Amino acid sequence: MPREHGDGGEYVETVTLDDVRAVFDDVRGPVVLSADVSDALGCSRETARRKLAALYDRGEVDRRKVSRRVLYWRAENDESDARAAAVDDATHGPGDPPADAHGADAGGEGDALDTARERIEELDLAGSGADYDRRRDAVLKMYEHLRKRPGERVSKSDFADLLDGDDVGYGGGFASLWANWVKGSGDRPNALDTLPGVELRGDDYVFEVDP
């Protein structure tokens, strides 16, 4: 993701909400995808999703999930005003729980898994029906395993021991799931590495939480 060093040496993200708003003017068609923002601004899909979610929370855009993709479009004025008011009310209520390194809500495992499930579905990975559900659930199980071991390095063999190779949605078992959904290559994304708080270190995965 495009970042620069700030005066104190910390990383400062350079993609602004105004940058993302401009993408809605430049993209042909009525809707925008996170991929459009990523391509236009040269940022990661993760950054694009977070910025679009921020515009949604502010009531500036609306969204809808279609065939595992999330479509965004500019909200009508009435919708924008109503959601902005709701967000404003929320800021005067109890404080939000802390978020993890990639924006996952640390207030509950269920919220984090819901976020992870949405991100997996946005990736438009191979499969459909029951096979797709098994593949997604297998990746979510790996994610749960990581969340329970913050800071620990988890390897491919650890995940293989965790999962039943006959129930990962592939006839080729865990190796096929790893090659098609986890490892990622070329245009195929790494599903596990896109999930909140997950970092790829060499060949291992680590779940990190911001202090």
Most distant CA atoms of the chain, gap in Å: 53
What are the DSSP E strand ranges found in the chain? 3-5, 11-13, 61-66, 69-74, 198-201, 204-207
Q: Where are the alpha helices (DSSP H) in 13-128?
A: 17-26, 34-41, 45-57, 77-91, 109-122
- Domain 3-91, what fold? Arc Repressor Mutant, subunit A (1.10.10)
pLDDT confidence of 11, banded at 50, 70, 90? very low
Give pLDDT tens digits for 143-195. 999 999 998 999 999 999 998 877 888 888 999 889 888 876 656 677 888 88
Q: Which residue reads 């236009």 in tokens?
A: 40
Where along the chain do its domains lie? 3-91, 109-207
The DSSP-derived string for 47-58 is HHHHHHHHHHHT
Residue 58 token pair: 């502010």
Q: Work out whether the CA dihedral 37, 40, 41, 46 comes out positive or negative.
A: positive
pTM beyond cutoff 0.95: no
If you search the block for the tokens 């855009």, which residue do you land on?
A: 61
* String of DSSP letters for 152-179: --B-HHHHHHHS-TTSSS-TTTHHHHII
49-58, 72-81, 148-157, 164-173: lowest mean pLDDT where? 72-81
For residues 171 and 156, the answer to whether their CB atoms sit within 8 Å is no
Higher pLDDT, 197 or 95: 197
Structure tokens at 192: 């596990």
Rounded distance, CA 113 to CA 105, Å? 10
